[in-house]
């Protein structure tokens, strides 16, 4: 019983260390390295666009029933299509209905293209020496897809190999080494950077613009524009640090 209690306390302290930012920037470098190692991840199952759409709608319906809004418990700012509807109702003018419908379709397409409704999450535990060398690794909580879990686990060694040692006295690094827990989320997305669309894609671009399917987003940080490309699904992974022991 004492051992169980100590384990729980240690785990809570490790999680609070991350939540309160009491760790060295080295761990951000580890996260970036893990994600870079997974940049060319294959598709681990054949994408089913209709299934993802149904899952997305079911998730939103469940959230709406439980909290009154499709995004979950936290109140969401009204979308542009919702604002157009409110303006239309106040003015008693239905002339904006087509524009509102296209805007709403774009919102739903962006949610679907992000793949957030259908994702794989595997939890890993890593042990490194004080100089950053990987000592051991294991899956703590599987994602449900063994191929994905194995792929993620196998990329860890190569991802961390070129990182180098953390700074002397780095917070979260002890003389015994580094012990961390990570969640690695993977999902199928249907987006592409606009600059990567080639001349051969002109017909797709024209057709997508005509039907409102090219809805995308502008990244204020990088200045790049991502657009929806339903022809070429790809798998993206994100790592999240959960605990530093």
Percent of the chain scoring above 90 in pLDDT:
42
Q: Report DSSP letters for 72-114, one per residue.
A: -SS--PPPHHHHHHHHHHHHT--TTHHHHHHHHHHHHHHHHHH
Higher pLDDT, 181 or 40: 181
CA distance 174 to 215: 48
List the one residue out of 57, 22, 64, 43 whose CA is nearest residue 236: 43
Residue 158 has pLDDT above 60, yes or no: yes
Mean pLDDT of all residues in 46-65: 51
Would you place residue 33 in the very low, low, confident or very high pLDDT band (cuts 50, 70, 90)? very high
Which pLDDT score is estimated for 204?
59
Mean pLDDT of all residues in 219-224: 62
CA distance 215 to 229: 10
Query: Tell me: the pLDDT tens digits for 62-113?
Result: 444 554 444 444 455 565 556 656 666 666 666 656 655 555 555 655 666 6
Mean pLDDT of all residues in 11-30: 95
Which pLDDT score is estimated for 64?
42
Higher pLDDT, 115 or 51: 115
Which pLDDT score is estimated for 84?
56
Higher pLDDT, 82 or 21: 21
Mean pLDDT of all residues in 216-232: 67
Question: Which domains occur in the chain, in start order?
Answer: 2-45+120-181+238-244 (3.30.1150)
For residue 57, what are its two tokens?
């709608």
**Cα four-point dihedral sign 7, 12, 16, 18:** positive
Query: Hey, which of 93-97, 178-182, 215-219 has the most confident mean pLDDT?
Result: 178-182
Range in 92-96, 116-120, 238-242 the model is least confident about: 92-96
Which pLDDT score is estimated for 209?
55
Mean pLDDT of all residues in 150-165: 94
Range in 147-151, 205-209, 222-226, 237-241 the model is least confident about: 205-209
Q: Is 60 helix (H, G, I), strand (E, B) or coil?
A: helix
- Could you tell me the pTM of the whole model? 0.68
- Average pLDDT of the chain, as a whole number: 77
CA distance 218 to 192: 12
Mean pLDDT of all residues in 207-229: 60
Dihedral angle at the C-alpha atoms of 101, 102, 103, 104, nearest 10 degrees? Answer: 50
């Amino acid at each position: 019983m004492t051992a169980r209690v100590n384990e729980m306390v240690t785990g809570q302290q490790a999680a609070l260390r991350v939540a309160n930012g009491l760790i060295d920037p080295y761990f951000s470098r580890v996260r970036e390295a893990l994600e870079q190692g997974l940049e060319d991840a294959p598709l681990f199952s054949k994408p089913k666009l209709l299934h993802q759409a149904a899952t997305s709608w079911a998730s939103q319906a469940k959230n709406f029933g439980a909290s009154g809004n499709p995004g979950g418990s936290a109140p969401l700012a009204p979308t542009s299509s919702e604002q157009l509807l409110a303006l239309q109702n106040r003015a008693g003018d239905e002339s904006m209905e087509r524009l509102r419908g296209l805007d709403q379709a774009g919102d739903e397409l962006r949610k679907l293209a992000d793949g957030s409704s259908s994702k794989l999450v595997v939890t890993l535990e890593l042990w490194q020496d004080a100089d950053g060398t990987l000592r051991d690794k294991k899956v703590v909580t599987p994602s449900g897809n063994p191929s994905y879990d194995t792929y993620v686990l196998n990329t860890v060694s190569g991802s961390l190999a070129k990182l180098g040692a953390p700074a002397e006295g780095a917070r979260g690094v002890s003389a015994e080494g580094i012990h961390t827990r990570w969640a690695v989320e993977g999902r199928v997305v249907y987006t592409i950077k606009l600059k990567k669309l080639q001349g051969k894609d002109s017909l797709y671009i024209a057709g997508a613009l005509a039907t409102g399917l090219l809805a995308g987003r502008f990244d204020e940080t990088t200045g790049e524009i991502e657009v929806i490309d339903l022809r070429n699904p790809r798998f993206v992974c994100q790592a999240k640090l959960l605990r530093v022991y």
